[in-house]
A and B are shown apart, each in its own frame.
Chain A
Amino acid sequence: MKSSNLVFDGSFDGFLSAVFMVFELKLTNATIQCQQWNQNGLFSNDERVLTDQTKANRVWKGLQAKLPQNESLKLYYSFLSEKREIYNILLDVIQYTFGSATDTSRNFTHPSILKISQTAKMVGREKHRMEAFVRFKLTKDGIYFANISPDFNVLPLLLKHFRDRYADQKWIIYDISRNYGLFYNLQNVEVVQMQFPDKFNFSASDTDYFDAIEFEFERLWKDYYQSVTIKSRKNNKLHLQHVPKRYWKYLSEKQ
């Protein structure tokens, strides 16, 4: 039998629908691919997966019933890594999970389980970094705005943290590389898409968009940052380990 390659739309539900298909059709050699990575080869054996929420929910419920909560969460975290090869590793773990009578989620001798555990940790670290490095700037319309472009698609994971913390101010966190954002309107959080002017410089406090006091606070913060360093303890290696260069773009004190 020809093995098939299931191509899904990139959403988590889409991925779970693909998993559903594997089980439903008892496919033995199936692979799952995100459409982002798909280039239709001439002899491709691609099959498009229709995202079906009911099917997706069935798979997810099944996993949740089988796994301790924080282990099923790891599957979601690693999915958000968007790594090309992660979908097949996830499929492997899901098949292994459904195929075992006991809870195998902490069998770190299984290569795919170890991989998921490590990937989830990387994604978790990125989430944590974003919680730390998001910098809001007050816009003229009284919204605290922050842009990010995280290595992994962690925005969905940030929602709860920021909603719980900034309950009395409007805010937007916008992923400029994936082009969507979260907007908290003092009631609830919505997913939004925005258009920015060409060559918009996110790192500067443009007075067309941002409140004038933004300059002042950025300056105070920069000064503060300068004052707290103890020169005789300077340790650049340690510094870079904590804040790798690619994160500097978020940090006004580093501009």
Chain B
Amino acid sequence: MSFERIQEKLKILADAAKYDVSCSSSGSKRSNKNKGLGNSKGMGICHTYTEDGRCVSLLKILLTNHCIFDCAYCVTRKSNDIKRAAFKVQEVVELTVNFYRRNYIEGLFLSSGIFKNADYTMERLVAVAKKLRLEENFNGYIHLKSIPGASDELMREAGLYADRLSVNIEIPTVSGLKKLAPDKKHEDFIKPMVKVKNEIIQYKSEIKSIKSTPKYAPAGQSTQMIIGASGENDFQIMQTSNHFYKNFNLKRVYYSGYVPISYDDRLPKIGSEVPMLRENRLYQTDWLMRFYGFHVNEILNPNFQNLDLDIDPKLGWALRNLHEFPIDVNTADKHMLARIPGVGMQSVYKIINARRFRLLNWEHLKKIGISYNRAQYFLTCNSLDFERRDLSAAKIKNLILQQGTSKYSKIFNKQLNLFD
């Protein structure tokens, strides 16, 4: 292979792919077969981190950044005046294998601009994955982008070789999508997602009776939404997210603070701040839904449509629901322990185990690793000193904010300044 040409293409096509934030390589169950190359079991590995602190786990590139569409929020859009390039199928295969052998990556994340039409593009993405699996005996992780509008047959084939498939819906509401991506139809996003979901369900039922059923997208499917490009509030975003988790059995929904890349006046101006803190709060909400047993409506609802930026959503919920507290850590069940601000799931696990041996007091809890600053107002334990004053939510919030040095306070102040 000619390194110089590859180098040039890699620069262009990695640069264009970087706005897709999903980088997970976890959740697959592909083990090394016949002394081949690679495996992708269990936990994903970040092989390095970008200077903006994001995990680099996969070789994330576009097959090409030629595109027939003109989505306003995308650098690859047809009307954007940029250098275009396209990889050959074989080039991507070689690059992936060689990076993998050196332990640079866990696998490949291949996306693409749409050239000619959806199926033509999808076919080529599938060809890369197929070659890697069948010719290179490659068992590393493969994430393919499902091209909106791709046919069911191609989506079926894609899932036979890929670990994960994803369609980015990007814009959380149908009306927003119409405005910013007029060429794209909502149904086109949904179609491949439905196909993949049904194939996964079918696979799961067949594997029970027929052991040799070929794997189908073992790491499931995911999607991404851009935050702050089209004016949606947090309630709308999390409603959509919840809808996708529930109806399409998604493994993950990613939230990506919009990075201004265009002078289009439908969008935030170039130079405006990327809403990173807001993005972080949405992820926290997502976690509360998936791992902490919260229902999305407990955190966001028609009466409470935007997350607090200065405190995390669990603390926010607790302050709105002071009647649920204090919780006695020595007797409360797992579900309630998980709701105490400043107590993470790891601490919950430790508390439940440790309290079988003795009643826990503050010393134990601090050693276990709870955040005393937040937790102290919300729990009682085997110590006589606990919060006896009848503090209002606003007062508690103040006390916590004065004590804590939130790692986001700097960014937060900067964002606040915008409104001065």
Contacts and interface: CB of A to CB of B under 8 A. Distances in A.
B46 A242 contact: yes
A47 interface: no
Given A164-B31, A228-B18, 18 more contacts: A106-B354, A107-B354, A107-B357, A108-B364, A114-B367, A114-B368, A136-B101, A136-B103, A138-B101, A165-B39, A167-B36, A168-B35, A219-B7, A220-B10, A228-B14, A229-B18, A229-B52, A238-B52
Nearest to A131: B45
A223 interface: yes
**Which of A135, A230, A241 has the most B CB atoms < 10 Å from its CB?**
A230
A167 B103 contact: no
Interface residues of A, number: 52
Contacts of B17: 228
Given A220-B7, A228-B14, A169 B350 contact: no
B208 interface: no
A165 B104 CA distance: 13
Contact of B51 (A166, A167, A234, A241): A234
B384 to A, nearest CB: 18
Contact of B353 (A106, A221, A238): A106
Contacts of A166: 37-38, 101
A165 B35 CA distance: 9
Interface stretch (B53-61, B153-161, B296-304, B309-317): B53-61
A251 B50 CA distance: 12
A231 B19 CA distance: 11
Contact of A230 (B3, B31, B52, B99): B52
B354 A108 contact: yes
Given A104-B357, A144-B102, A223 B7 contact: yes
A135 B356 CA distance: 45
Contacts of A229: 18, 50-52
Contacts of B99: 217, 220-221
Given A165-B32, A168-B37, A233-B274, A217 B102 contact: yes
18 contacts: A108-B353, A108-B354, A135-B102, A146-B103, A165-B38, A220-B7, A220-B10, A220-B99, A223-B7, A225-B50, A227-B11, A228-B18, A228-B50, A230-B54, A232-B259, A233-B276, A234-B52, A237-B53
Contacts of A136: 101-103
B80 interface: no
B15 interface: yes
B46 to A, nearest CB: 6
B263 interface: no
B88 interface: no
B48 interface: yes
A106 B357 CA distance: 9
B327 interface: no
Contact of B52 (A107, A146, A235): A235
Given A227-B18, A235-B52, A238-B53, A168 B60 contact: no
